[in-house]
Amino acid sequence: MAEPHTPTRELERQLQLLGEKFAERLAQELPELASKAQLLQAGDHQAQLQQLRSLRDQLHKLAGAAGTFGFASIGQRAHELEQQAMHWLESLRLQDQGLQEFIQQVQQFAAQGVQSEPAPNSRARPQATPKAETDVHCIYILEDETSIGESMRLTLGNFGYHAEHFSRIADLDAALQRRLPDALIIDVNLGDSEQTGLAYAAALQQRLEQPLPLLVITTEDDFATHLEAVRVGAMGYFTKPVDIPQLENRLERCFAQQQGEPYRVLIVDDDHHLASRYSLILRGANMLVEVLESPAGIFEAMSRFNPEVVLLDVNMPDCTGPELAQIIRFNDDWLRVPIIYLSAETDITRQMDALIKAGDDFVSKPIADNALVTTVFSRAQRARLLSIALSRDSLTGLLKHADIKEQVGIELERAQRSGKPASVAMLDIDLFKQVNDSYGHVAGDNVIRALANLLRQRLRRVDSLGRYGGEEFLVVLPDCPAAQARRILDEIRQRFAELHFIAGGSEFSVTLSAGIASTEQGAHDAGELLERADRALYGAKHGGRNQVGQS
Amino acid sequence: MPELSRILHVEDDPSIQAVAKVALEAVGGFRVLSCSCGQDALDQVQGFAPDFILLDVMMPGMDGPQTLAKIAQLVDIGQIPVVFMTAKVQPAEIEHYRGLGARDVIIKPFDPMQLAAQVRQIWNRVHG
């Protein structure tokens, strides 16, 4: 999806360069860490301590720096190892057993290297066509029926994931040792295994520091299995035969949730001391926090910082929390922002009074750190999902007609300024009416969603994507000549044709046609470019469908 | 409110030094002087006359708190807020830093796009 065209592009470019430099530094520093860890085994006690201090300092630097450049999980892991190093230093006893383990952990961390980093919300990340290797999500599939597992692997591969299929628990275990995937798909009913897939998943999740996103597939559709799946932390439940595009859609949602920007939280509290404490707790949970001590600054803070959650102190001298909440609610733009009161108020009637006036929730002081984080997190998460749902096409999550059309204009202007050609592609699903008529609208919706996901996976971040009409999509590709656009779209066309959909027990596949127009032939305005793409699409349809035409 | 324009950033990690400079200059429009160690900061602080000082906690040689103590002898840290930048800390630690005279703590890792806003916010609180 294209970033809005703002003066910060130069900044983004600089940050990207710094990010690349940092990645180089990581590649150098990680092996150093490993050899430092190795040296811990040698030398006398004093030498060991000195080595350990130097290791701790280096881990500390990494813990602070990596996340800034988008390498969040490397930063997190470095932080954990730093804590362990500190623990060893404090105990001042370097017992062999535990120390060996620590050394191994540092070496494993170093060996993971820079590639394994998903770098989820990094701005400082190189963009490439097609997606860079580090961008690809890795999925492990445990499925004892080889044909099902393989077809899943191939289909997810078409969507741009790196999928690996394992028929036996032992094989999966071995792969997990080598590399942790970004998500797991597990069949509940494993033919000749002693364990069910769920029992295995439960044990595995416990073993991991952070549970993996998990989807289960099963032949059972009963309540007990559903419940068991929820209890092992499954984020999706699919009965066989599995509709893979639907499963892919769920995966996509899991990742979207993980990769979000930090939540923005505004705290309004006249007690400076408390406010900075809350702020610290929430910032520790990776949220962006601003504190406002005087309620009068609310308009400025709301419009500049655009918070996703507002925390309000109930008792402030000039203006009470409920009054301020009502002021916020006067403005329709801020209706979707949840308001949570912070108060020492334990009188339930007065709490209810406050809630009736405005506001969504109440937390009583003193509040435990965890409770505060959880309350704010869950509200923020829901608010963000709702807000995305409102501004995007509800079926596909892509831009709506008007927004994508606007994007064509923006990219056309940019192309004229920069002299770099942009292309526009219009896509249409072939004989879509027949899909709806033969398999029903649910199946039709599924096809549309699958194409949306496929496009999202295969295109670059700078490309814009919109649902133009019912089964029609529009793609805007900046800095991309027609010939390149044609190659990209043709690859998407082939992969789409390879998808298998399931409806009412029968399987079917669908094709698409596309038309491309580029600024290389000159274009006065967005309308002209769109019209040419439309004509090229018409040509592709007339040429027999399942092809990409060019104006 | 006095104007915030000059920031002294003391940080021994060159990657962080570079990204903070870019972020503060490009997003915040501030002028930034980066120092790579406490001594360097002490040598430059009076000449540069910063409005605001960002100080890494863990540095080789003179660490952040030691640097703060010496800076406080050279300039008025009541007017020039000193803020520590450090990886995840416990609430007790922030109290400790405050006791040393720091106005706040900015947690690492930080979001480069938000750093200027965080600094501005602390500034507004101190001088607002």
C-alpha to C-alpha distance for A276 and A288, rounded to whole angstroms: 13
Would the CB atoms of B15 and A69 count as touching at under 8 Å? yes
A290 in reach of chain B (CB within 8 A):
yes
C-alpha to C-alpha distance for A87 and A419, rounded to whole angstroms: 58
Q: What local confidence, expressed as pLDDT, does residue B56 receive? A: 94
A276 in reach of chain B (CB within 8 A):
yes
Would the CB atoms of B87 and A284 count as touching at under 8 Å? no
Q: In what order do the strands lie in the sheet with A138-142?
A: A162-166, A138-142, A183-187, A214-218, A234-239
- pLDDT tens digit at each of 551 positions of chain A: 333 334 456 777 777 888 888 888 888 888 888 888 888 877 777 888 888 888 888 888 888 888 888 787 888 888 888 888 887 777 666 566 677 788 888 888 888 766 544 443 333 333 322 333 346 789 999 999 888 898 888 888 877 788 999 999 988 988 888 888 989 999 998 876 778 889 899 888 888 777 888 999 998 888 888 988 888 888 889 988 888 878 887 887 777 666 666 889 999 988 877 787 788 888 877 788 999 988 888 988 888 888 999 999 888 888 888 889 999 988 877 888 999 988 766 667 777 777 777 888 888 766 777 788 888 988 888 887 776 666 567 677 787 887 788 888 888 888 888 888 999 999 999 999 999 999 988 889 889 988 988 898 888 878 888 988 889 999 999 999 999 999 999 999 999 999 888 887 788 999 999 999 999 988 888 899 999 999 999 999 999 999 999 98
DSSP 8-state symbol, B60: S
User: What is the arithmetic mean of pLDDT over B44-57?
Assistant: 94
Q: In what order do the strands lie in the sheet with B6-10?
A: B31-35, B6-10, B52-56, B82-87, B104-108
Q: Cα distance from B21 to chain A (closest Cα, Å)?
A: 11
> Mind listing the domains of chain B with CATH numbers?
6-127 (3.40.50.2300)
Q: What local confidence, expressed as pLDDT, does residue A180 receive? A: 87
Question: Which chain B residue has the Cα nearest residue A124?
Answer: B112
Helices (H), B1-128: 14-22, 38-48, 64-74, 91-99, 112-127
What's the half-sphere exposure (Cβ side, CA atoms, 13 Å) at A238?
23
Q: What local confidence, expressed as pLDDT, does residue A135 receive? A: 60
C-alpha to C-alpha distance for A206 and A324, rounded to whole angstroms: 45
B108 in reach of chain A (CB within 8 A):
yes
* Intervals of CATH 3.40.50.2300 along chain A: 133-259, 264-391
Domain A17-112 has CATH 1.20.120: yes
C-alpha to C-alpha distance for A313 and A295, rounded to whole angstroms: 10
Chain B residue numbers touching A22 (CB-CB < 8 A): 15
**Neighbouring C-beta atoms of residue A307, cutoff 10 Å:** 25
Of the residues A117, A143, A164, A471, only one is catalytic, namely A471
> For residue A488, which of A134, A241, A21, A128 has the smallest C-alpha distance?
A128
> For residue A514, which of A409, A423, A403, A394 has the smallest C-alpha distance?
A423
Which CATH fold topology does A133-259 show? Rossmann fold (3.40.50)
Residue of B19, B63, B103 for testing the chain A interface, max A β-carbons within 10 Å: B19
Residue A496 has which token pair? 């789409």
C-alpha to C-alpha distance for A422 and A413, rounded to whole angstroms: 10
C-alpha to C-alpha distance for A182 and A212, rounded to whole angstroms: 7
Q: What is the three-class DSSP state of A512? A: strand
Would the CB atoms of A64 and B109 count as touching at under 8 Å? yes
At A419, phi and psi to the nearest 5?
75, 5
B3 in reach of chain A (CB within 8 A):
no
Q: In what order do the strands lie in the sheet with A423-429?
A: A464-467, A472-477, A423-429, A512-518, A548-550
What's the half-sphere exposure (Cβ side, CA atoms, 13 Å) at B84?
27
Q: What local confidence, expressed as pLDDT, does residue A388 receive? A: 64
The tens digit of pLDDT for each residue in B72-125 reads 999 999 899 999 998 766 677 777 888 888 998 898 888 888 899 889 989 988
A282 in reach of chain B (CB within 8 A):
no
Would the CB atoms of A18 and B18 count as touching at under 8 Å? yes
Predicted complex ipTM: 0.81
Would the CB atoms of B87 and A79 count as touching at under 8 Å? yes
Give how far Cα A397 sits from Cα of A147, A407, A416, A427, A497, Å. Answer: 32, 16, 29, 17, 22
What's the half-sphere exposure (Cβ side, CA atoms, 13 Å) at A454?
29
Task: Reply yes or no on whether A471 is catalytic.
Answer: yes
A75 in reach of chain B (CB within 8 A):
yes
Domain A401-550, CATH number (from 3.30.70.270, 3.40.50.720, 2.60.40.1930, 3.40.50.2300): 3.30.70.270
Chain B residue numbers touching A21 (CB-CB < 8 A): 15, 18
Domain A264-391 has CATH 3.50.40.10: no
